[in-house]
Amino acid sequence: MVKMITASEAAKMIKPQDRLLIGGFLACGAPETLINALVAENTKDLHIVCIASDWESKGIGKLVVNHQLKSAQVSHMGTNKEIQAQMNAGEIEVELVPQGTLMERVRAAGAGLGGILTPTGLGTVVQEGKEIITVDDIQYILEKAIQSDFALIRAWKADKAGNLIYRKTTRNSNPIMAMAGKITIAEVDEIVETGELDPETIITPGIFVNYIVKSGV
């Protein structure tokens, strides 16, 4: 049963050392209300998985500036000088993951798979310490699925059964992140009665959603 809670209640569920999948790309589609609540809660030593670390004043960047992160698996850091500085100072451990590989590793977790095989990164630092598997004379890196404790995502509308629809490019990584969270918390702009959403527009079925938070609340 999907439960409606406040962002503050959601933030209190998250504890130090938890691994968080956070949707969005360069703050587009980021669950800003949930992130703000997590900043207010000031929970430290978090592990995050995201496409980009956004900007210092937007999206995930606010967690970076508040020194709440212990590590990050991320594809893009170019717009956030604070995470670069913390990484260079040894204050945060960063694993840079090619974007397609990152999302496939998250998707694998959501699909109950152990990992994926990809040629991306062969012959580079990406393959260091990883198993190489040959299939039909082609080498692949075995990239393990990325598991998580929580997925914090942003959608446009939800019904009370937790079914979600997205708006334009804010969809980006959110549906895949929603599938992979042990506990998925969806921040939405609007909540409607069950049955009001056109089934053809539903992207994330309610089976993947545990909690709904109204944006701005």
Share of the chain above pLDDT 90, in %: 99
- Sites in the chain below the pLDDT cut of 50: none
- Residue 162 confidence (pLDDT): 98
Residue 172's φ and ψ, nearest 5 degrees, are 10, -110
DSSP secondary structure code for residue 114 in this structure = S
- Residue 217 confidence (pLDDT): 84
| Domains of the chain in sequence order | 3-114+145-214 (3.40.1080.10)
- Residue 134 confidence (pLDDT): 98
- Residue 131 confidence (pLDDT): 97
Report the alpha-carbon distance of residue 147 to residue 8 in Å, rounded. 24
- Residue 1 confidence (pLDDT): 83
- Residue 155 confidence (pLDDT): 98
